[in-house]
Structure 1
Amino acid sequence: MSKITPCLWFNGQAEEAARFYVSLLPDSRIDYVQRNVIDSPGGKEGSVLLVGFTLAGQTYQALNGGSNFEFTHAISLSIDCKDQAEVDRLWDRLSDGGEPVACGWIKDRYGLSWQIVPSVMLKFLADPDREKAARVMKTMMDMVKLDIAALQAAYDGHA
């Protein structure tokens, strides 16, 4: 387990959400499921309290905390995607029951925000040619799901 492990709060959906998340990326797995040893705000004795899981090598916890606290965009999980096929696959999976937002952001069916970002974006935005970077930024701001070909065209000055 990592020294620092993000804990995501759910209202009865911790195990379902964790199983969905580990299905998205390689090097992901359920590490443990801790059940309530007594009745608690998170559920009855024997129900799932905490799920430890690893997502692409990073440890997380999913807690059935009882009360329904909603996730906000203030915390999101960003996925570095190697190509458009990976962007598309993750976008399709997360949008099933979720809600596309803007600029590569999407809320999944549990309300957690994700950023589905092609690896090349950092290169484009960090380019010392500020005009190239600005064209990419402007193009991205008009997108919902990010399109690498359109971003590349903007970078190259062909948008």
Structure 2
Amino acid sequence: MRTFTPNIWFAGDAEEAAELYARVLPSTRITRTDRYPTEGLLPFQEQLAGKVLTVMLSGPGCDLVHINAGPEFRPTPASSFTVTFGAADDPGAVAALDAAASALAEGGRVLMPLQQYPFSDRYTWVEDRYGVSWQLTVAFPDAPAEASIVPTLLFGGPAQDRAAEAIAEWTALLPGSEVVRTVPYPEATGPAASGAVMFAEVRLADQRVFVMDAGSAQDTTFTPAVSYQLACPDQAEIDRLWTALSTVPEAEQCGWCVDRFGVSWQIVPANMDELMERPHAFEHMMEMKKLVIDDF
């Protein structure tokens, strides 16, 4: 289990989305599927008994967990995934990017058209039919040319110009984290102030992450539809991260919390699979806010 794993909430179509992503994203495959139990569910979950609960995909540099649930949450472009298909001079990478852009845009919408930009020889930003946003590109200048999937956070709306603050907090909080590089806005750009984060690459625990302040006005921000799971070695680490990150009491549920920037986290034990094999584990988990290992 990775320490840092993005989770995406789907309205009953997690399997369908996983099959699409495994088909069009580079070197990505479905590695595991888990099902809801048949008892111990909350009333709103009863129709899901025995159905798929989560689907895990493994991609280049990033795992993704799909949560099969209801229509309560929908992703926004504030939480996207930047997918690099390879080098700009690799015809195969360009063809794969173009094919993925077409497949992902079907039934969705194009946020930035497929073309050359100052920062990439070929790039597009699409929101797919499930609401998930993808930034598809060939390798950025001076960046690794191999395929990769990188979680990307856009600070806009109520979180505007808070990217640097979040980066400082998260990298200090998560062991093994570091700021790889930061590019500031040289002057005020839309709602972004001069010196705000135009682009940053950070490593949060074992995951490469991109972070940006929005350079154009945003009418959406982070939602629980994309959350970031943190796997902890023991209860002390769960307690430490929970105390630091949970700032919205009404959002606390079975390991989920929301920080002061509006970003959702799932703070879980690293041996979660083992704990979930215990009798009535799912029922016990649903009764918790912060997860307590001894209560499973």
The TM-score with structure 2 as length reference comes to 0.45
Deviations 1:21-75 (A, max 9, x none): 1111111011111012454225244433222211012111111014353211111
Aligned to 2:211: 62
What does 1:3-42 correspond to in 2, within 5 Å? Answer: 3-10=148-155, 11-42=160-191
The answer to whether the Cα contact below 8 Å between 2:228 and 2:266 also exists between their aligned partners in 1 is yes
Which ranges of 4 or more aligned residues in structure 1 deviate by more than 3 Å?
44-47, 97-100
Higher mean C-alpha displacement, 59-68 vs 26-35: 59-68
Counting aligned pairs with the same residue, the percent is 35
Aligned to 2:290: 145
The TM-score with structure 1 as length reference comes to 0.81
Higher mean C-alpha displacement, 75-84 vs 38-47: 38-47
Whole-Å Cα distance in 1 between the matches of residues 295 and 191 of structure 2? 46
Whole-Å Cα distance in 2 between the matches of residues 46 and 94 of structure 1? 26
The answer to whether the Cα contact below 8 Å between 1:42 and 1:49 also exists between their aligned partners in 2 is no
Higher mean C-alpha displacement, 104-113 vs 45-54: 45-54
SS of the equivalent of 1:43 reads coil
Deviations 1:72-107 (A, max 9, x none): 111110011111001000001102x44452000000
The 1:47–1:87 alpha-carbon spacing in structure 2 relative to 1, beyond 3 Å, is: closer
**Higher helix residue share:** 1
The answer to whether the Cα contact below 8 Å between 1:14 and 1:50 also exists between their aligned partners in 2 is no
What does 1:1-159 correspond to in 2, within 5 Å? Answer: 3-10=148-155, 11-65=160-214, 66-68=216-218, 69-95=220-246, 97-99=247-249, 100-125=251-276, 127=277, 132-133=278-279, 135-151=280-296
Whole-Å Cα distance in 2 between the matches of residues 104 and 57 of structure 1? 20
Gaps of 5+ in 1: 152-159
Whole-Å Cα distance in 1 between the matches of residues 248 and 209 of structure 2? 21
Quote how far apart the aligned CAs of 1:137 are: 0.6
Whole-Å Cα distance in 2 between the matches of residues 58 and 119 of structure 1? 16
Gaps of 5+ in 2: 1-143
1:92 maps to a residue whose letter is T
The answer to whether the Cα contact below 8 Å between 2:196 and 2:213 also exists between their aligned partners in 1 is no
The answer to whether the Cα contact below 8 Å between 1:28 and 1:55 also exists between their aligned partners in 2 is yes
Whole-Å Cα distance in 2 between the matches of residues 12 and 119 of structure 1? 33
Whole-Å Cα distance in 2 between the matches of residues 150 and 44 of structure 1? 47
Whole-Å Cα distance in 1 between the matches of residues 253 and 283 of structure 2? 13
The 1:124–1:46 alpha-carbon spacing in structure 2 relative to 1, beyond 3 Å, is: closer
Higher mean C-alpha displacement, 66-75 vs 141-150: 66-75
Q: Count how many residue pairs are aligned between Structure 1 and Structure 2.
A: 144
